[in-house]
Amino acid sequence: RSDPSYALGRLFLKERSVKAFALMTICFLMFAAARIVSFALMILGVSGELELRIISLVRAPIDFLASILLLASIAILYSVTRRSGRM
C-alpha cells in the first residue's frame, strides 16, 4: 500500500509539480475566459445564429485547448506522485 504522505511530500519536492500547478491555473483561467464570452454575449443581447457562430468560433476552441492542457497537467502530477518500481 502506498503512503499518502509520501505522495503529498513529492508534490512539494519536485519542480515539475510547480509547473503542473501553474499550468492547471492557466487552464482554469481559460475556462473562466470562455464563460466570460458567453456572459458577454448574453449581456450584449446577441442571440440566434450570430451567438452560435461566436460560441463555435471562440468559446469551443478555448474550452478544447484548456481541456488538453488540464489533462497534461494532471498527467504530470500523476507522474510526480506515483511510486517507482524500485521500492
How do residues 46-74 score in pLDDT, each as one tens digit?
888 988 898 899 999 999 999 999 999 99
Residue 17 in contact with residue 10, Cβ under 8 Å? yes
Grid-cell match 483561467, residue found: 29
Torsion over CA: 87, 8, 66, 23 (sign)? negative
60 φ, ψ (degrees, to nearest 5):
-60, -45
| pLDDT for 36 | 93
The average pLDDT across 78-86 equals 73
Cα–Cα distances (Å) from 23 to 12, 15, 79, in that order, read: 16, 13, 15
pTM for this prediction: 0.75
* pLDDT over 80 at 3, yes or no: no
d(CA 70, CA 79): 14
pLDDT per residue over 21-47, tens digit each?
A: 999 999 999 999 999 998 998 899 888
